[in-house]
Amino acid sequence: MTDALFREDAYLQEAPATVLAHTDRGGVVLDRSLFYPTGGGQPGDAGRLTWAGGSMIVATTVKGEGDEIVLVPGEGADLPPVGTELFQHLDWDRRLSHMRVHTALHLLSVVIPLPVTGGQIAEGQGRLDFDMPEAPEDKDALEAELNALIARDLEVGETWITDAELDANPGLVKTMSVQPPRGSGRIRLVRIGEGSEQVDLQPCGGTHVKRTGEIGRVRIDKVKNKGSRNRRVSILLED
């Protein structure tokens, strides 16, 4: 089992760890991980590991068996031996970009209150697919509404509920294509805004900024027809 440090503090950029194992495919499993594994439309983190006498580029991060998080080395890298004590160094610029985009997409699902059929996050950009038979009439108005929500600098937090509580509130799940992971006894909800200021609450395991103001201005780039009932709405960070 890997302790997911990014869940405790998404802003942590360096941390010590110990190598627990190597996978059959040449990945590295640590006892604690700064690195977020690919999932929920968010790419895995990158960075590097350093230890006495060596270093390794982390090209990406994926989920392993059970609660394992597997660091995928860059091509030709030497792996730290099992038992090695080392330091993790996160590619912070990449992670922060993912966090900004991810939180912006949650807000996009607020200004377009329709079921989400898919989504993807990348550096500086992202998209959501909606069950939307007709394209929005005024893309500029949607963009203005989205940036107005961002500019309110709302707090982004989390809460946890049980599987039974989620079953009793199915409207919390906006995504039709991906269901929240079950089986651990609790499900993480990401909340944007507090009290009467709350604008969004939905299950999510990804990393987010602490306040919406950190997102900065975004632009709605394209709205594409992806089928008889699907529209893909793409956004770009403007800085």
Pinpoint the residues of the chain covered by CATH 2.40.30.130: 3-90
Q: Beta partners for 142?
A: none
Pinpoint the residues of the chain covered by CATH 3.30.980.10: 95-237
pTM: 0.93
pLDDT exceeds 90 at position 112: yes
Average pLDDT over residues 60-78: 95
Q: What is the DSSP string of 166-188?
A: HHH-GGG--BSS-PPP-SSS-EE
CATH fold group of domain 95-237:
Threonyl-tRNA Synthetase; Chain A, domain 2 (3.30.980)
pLDDT exceeds 90 at position 197: yes
Structure tokens at 11: 């802003």
Q: How confident is the model at residue 178 (pLDDT cuts 50, 70, 90)?
A: low
Task: Give the number of other CB atoms < 10 A from CB of residue 228.
Answer: 6
Cα-Cα-Cα-Cα dihedral sign, residues 24, 28, 32, 34: negative
Give the lowest-confidence range in 32-46, 130-144, 166-180, 204-218: 166-180
pLDDT at 184: 62
pLDDT at 163: 79
pLDDT exceeds 70 at position 12: yes
CATH fold group of domain 3-90:
Elongation Factor Tu (Ef-tu); domain 3 (2.40.30)
Give the lowest-confidence range in 144-158, 165-179, 214-228: 165-179
Q: How confident is the model at residue 1 (pLDDT cuts 50, 70, 90)?
A: confident
- CA-nearest of 90, 85, 89 to 20 is 85
Could you report the per-residue pLDDT of 120-164, keeping only the tens digit for each?
999 999 999 999 988 888 999 999 999 999 999 999 999 988 878
Cα distance between residue 184 and residue 220, in whole Å: 37
